[in-house]
Amino acid sequence: MPLVLLDLDGTLLDSAPGITASVRAAYRAVGLPVPPDDVLRSFVGPPIWDSLRAHGVPADRVEEVVHAYRTAFADIGMYDATVFDGIPDVLRELRAAGLTLVVATAKPEVFARPICDRLGLADLVDGVFGAPLDETSTKADVIARALDSLADRPEAAVTLMVGDREHDVHGAAEHGVACVGVTWGYAAPGELEAAGAVAVVDSPAALRDEVLRRLVPTHHDEVASRA
């Protein structure tokens, strides 16, 4: 079965409330000025280490802030998220069409798995892959782990990534995988197009149709015949 790699934050989940509250708490805990709301929102998606460096946290304090963030996230932010409307139905339809669905997120796996369990996503996908609790893992590394887990399934060579940020596109590209971008997440205007997303869709229904068009040719033929 063809494989769809799914980003979590900003693609399946509206997780900004919990993540931004945890980042805010982390900055306060270590005595650093809290970034404005638009900057806090940009933390949703990329690895926390990358976001802290990008927004000027001194290199010798990054690990301290990461620890404070993860403490706050476990305490207050982990489950402050909601599944985007329409996503559960799309996941069911894609699986019914014969696709394998796997979450591939830069969020540490120790958080990603229980979040997917609590919010009902675990039963709608075939696996959840996240980052280890260290700074060396990139989105490309997480994708590599997901692909390696299915290496004995040659049909999974037909693969597509779905994500809402440029690092989803770039991480997939490192493995020769195309990425469909979604607009309901946290990307800046034009970010996905500039990164090289093969398509950008603005609703879960449009995402369903785009994935099926690319991975299930018979679906496309059926739609065309009805047109």
Structural domains of the chain ordered from first start: 3-14+82-226 (3.40.50.1000), 16-77 (1.10.150.240)
pLDDT tens figures, 71-107 = 999 999 999 999 999 999 999 999 999 999 999 999 9
pLDDT tens figures, 31-50 = 999 999 989 999 998 888 88
- Averaged over 11-27, what is the pLDDT? 96
Extract the tokens encoding 89. Answer: 């139905």
Q: How large is the C-alpha radius of gyration of the chain?
A: 18
pLDDT exceeds cutoff 50 at 153: yes
- Averaged over 177-195, what is the pLDDT? 96
pLDDT at 171: 95
In 3D space, the residue among 30, 11, 31, 1 whose CA is nearest the CA of residue 139 turns out to be: 11
pLDDT exceeds cutoff 50 at 226: no
Top pLDDT among 179 and 133 is at 179
pLDDT exceeds cutoff 60 at 223: no
Residue 77 CB partners (closer than 8 Å, separation 6+): 17, 18, 19, 21, 22, 25
- Averaged over 119-145, what is the pLDDT? 90
pLDDT exceeds cutoff 60 at 130: yes
Of the listed ranges 25-34, 41-50, 171-180, 182-191, the one predicted with least confidence: 41-50
pLDDT at 162: 98
Write the single-letter amino acid at 136. T
Split at pLDDT 50, 70, 90, the class of 8 is very high
Split at pLDDT 50, 70, 90, the class of 150 is confident
Split at pLDDT 50, 70, 90, the class of 55 is very high
User: How far apart, in whole angstroms, are the C-alpha atoms of residue 201 and residue 184?
Assistant: 9
Q: Please state, for a pLDDT cut of 70, what percent of the chain lies above it.
A: 92
User: How far apart, in whole angstroms, are the C-alpha atoms of residue 151 and residue 168?
Assistant: 21
pLDDT at 133: 81
pLDDT exceeds cutoff 90 at 192: yes
pLDDT exceeds cutoff 70 at 157: no
DSSP E strand boundaries for 66-119: 82-83, 100-108
Query: What positions carry a catalytic annotation?
Result: 7
* CB atoms near residue 177 (< 10 Å): 19
User: How far apart, in whole angstroms, are the C-alpha atoms of residue 128 and residue 118?
Assistant: 13
CB 34 within 8 A of CB 191: no
Mean pLDDT of the residues in the chain? 91
User: How far apart, in whole angstroms, are the C-alpha atoms of residue 39 and residue 56?
Assistant: 11
pLDDT exceeds cutoff 80 at 227: no
Q: Are strands 159-163 and 128-131 parallel, antiparallel or unpaired?
A: unpaired
